[in-house]
Amino acid sequence: MKNVTKLRPEAPQSSDVLTEILRSGAQALLQQAVEAELQAYLSRVNSLDRPPAAIRNGYSPERAIQTGIGAIPVQQPRARIKKGFEGIEQFSSKILPPYLRRTKSMEELIPWLYLKGISTGDFQDALQALLGADAPGLSATTITRLKASWSDDYEQWAKRDLSTKRYVYIWADGVHFNVRLGEDGERACILVIIGATSEGNKELLAVEAGMRESTASWKGLLLGLRRQGMTVAPELAIGDGALGFWAALSEVYSTTKEQRCVVHKTANILDKLPRKTQPQAKKMLHDMYNAENKVDANKLVDDFAKVYEAKYPKAVACLMKNRDSIFSFYDFPAEHWCHIRSTNVIESMFATVRLRTEKTKGCGTAKATLTMVFKLAENASKTWKKLRGYERLAEVIDIRWKFEDGIRVEAKAA
């Protein structure tokens, strides 16, 4: 006798049941909130020493608010001002503005999907998978409108006032994208600066189109920051040695110390060595960057030169170039070394924007690439954490102290 597998009726997915419970609860809470908001308004405008000036007046037509857990239906209660009280303020809900159709999280989701590389034709499927069958589509017209709003956001952001903050560290890099600009086919390069405030918060400071190795491009960017109110020079700047940034920095913020990114420096040195020698050379380079103090680090530099100078002088010359600026981090708190040895804070946030630009057909424009980079960086900055040991930033900017090999010591009077 053959074994027969008895099929049981398919049970509803627990995730769908949970979503419905969450939606029902959210609907009840939202309705209660707007009812309480109206009641507070009536209590405020209806003084006890006079007849009521405003009364309830039914509900506005039901509307669905798109949220992260799908569409939430809600009815907005209304109020009416009685005759003779025309000077009384009209009821206007702060919870549900008149034309609200999507929550803020929903508004952020749409550009996020676009930036992550979802093509326009796939938006409906992507939104339905995330938000349910009632999720709205996203047309090419809507995409165009969104990009126009991003451009407006960028223009306002680029003119903001920076005078109320003190930026202690800045990271600079120029990032290329596979989008051709203009008739000459030049690839887009976006110049980026991130700053760390005296409270330890990392902030996006500048995003501009320019030439990565052009001193003029970087000088224009830095002068723009100064015009916006960043008049006090940062204590330290971190960047790749190939940038035109350094010449510009010396002109605009001449007192700022320079730290060459050890990740870029390592890659540049290894590129000048045969593949078979790279593992050992890489270990020697990492040992010098992780040395306990600057003296030991410089001894390891000399050891590297003795090993490789005879056969690979270009690799050694690359290491020796700007040798002192490789180890500037030793003059700052040891807690900050993991942050200020490299420009990883910039590099780590550009993988997804490259995905978006790789999916862009034909020639891009500098403006389109710039605004996409800005929106991605703006989104990424929301997850940035404070610097480790941020409490010591106050000591970094205090002229009474200096740091030697990561340890605070009293600064000698000039």
pLDDT, tens digit, for every residue of 221-263?
Answer: 999 999 999 999 999 999 998 788 999 999 999 999 999 999 9
Q: What is the pTM of this model?
A: 0.70
> Between the ranges 27-36, 83-92, 191-200, where is the mean pLDDT highest?
191-200
**Can you give the pLDDT at residue 307?**
96
Res 352 pLDDT > 90: no
Q: Which of residues 74, 101, 128 is at a domain's end?
A: 101
**Mean residue pLDDT across the chain:** 81
Is the residue at 240 inside a domain? no
Domain that holds residue 319: 262-341+384-414
Percent share of the chain, pLDDT over 70: 73
Q: Which of residues 41, 73, 101 is at a domain's end?
A: 101
Q: Which of residues 67, 101, 135 is at a domain's end?
A: 101
pLDDT, tens only, 93-126: 777 776 666 555 555 566 566 655 566 566 666 6
Is the residue at 347 inside a domain? no
Is the residue at 180 inside a domain? no
Is the residue at 225 inside a domain? no
C-alpha to C-alpha distance for 365 and 25, rounded to whole angstroms: 46
Is the residue at 177 inside a domain? no
Distant-in-sequence contacts of 287-293, Cβ < 8 A, 24+ apart: 289/262, 289/326, 289/341, 292/405, 293/330, 293/405
Res. 406 pLDDT band, cuts 50 70 90:
very high
- How many domains are contained in the chain? 2
Is the residue at 197 inside a domain? no
pLDDT, tens only, 181-202: 444 555 568 899 999 999 999 9
Res. 30 pLDDT band, cuts 50 70 90:
confident
pLDDT, tens only, 276-309: 999 999 999 999 999 999 999 999 999 999 999 9
Is the residue at 59 inside a domain? yes
C-alpha to C-alpha distance for 106 and 136, rounded to whole angstroms: 10
**Can you give the pLDDT at residue 1?**
43
Instruction: Of 24-28, 251-255, 269-273, 394-398, give the lowest mean pLDDT range.
Output: 24-28
Res. 5 pLDDT band, cuts 50 70 90:
very low
Query: For residues 399 and 235, is the Cβ–Cβ distance under 8 A?
Result: no
CA distances (Å), origin 182, targets 186, 215, 359, 362, 364: 7, 22, 18, 11, 8
Is the residue at 370 inside a domain? no
- CA dihedral for 258, 261, 262, 267, sign (positive or negative): negative
Mean pLDDT of 350-364: 53
Res 128 pLDDT > 80: no
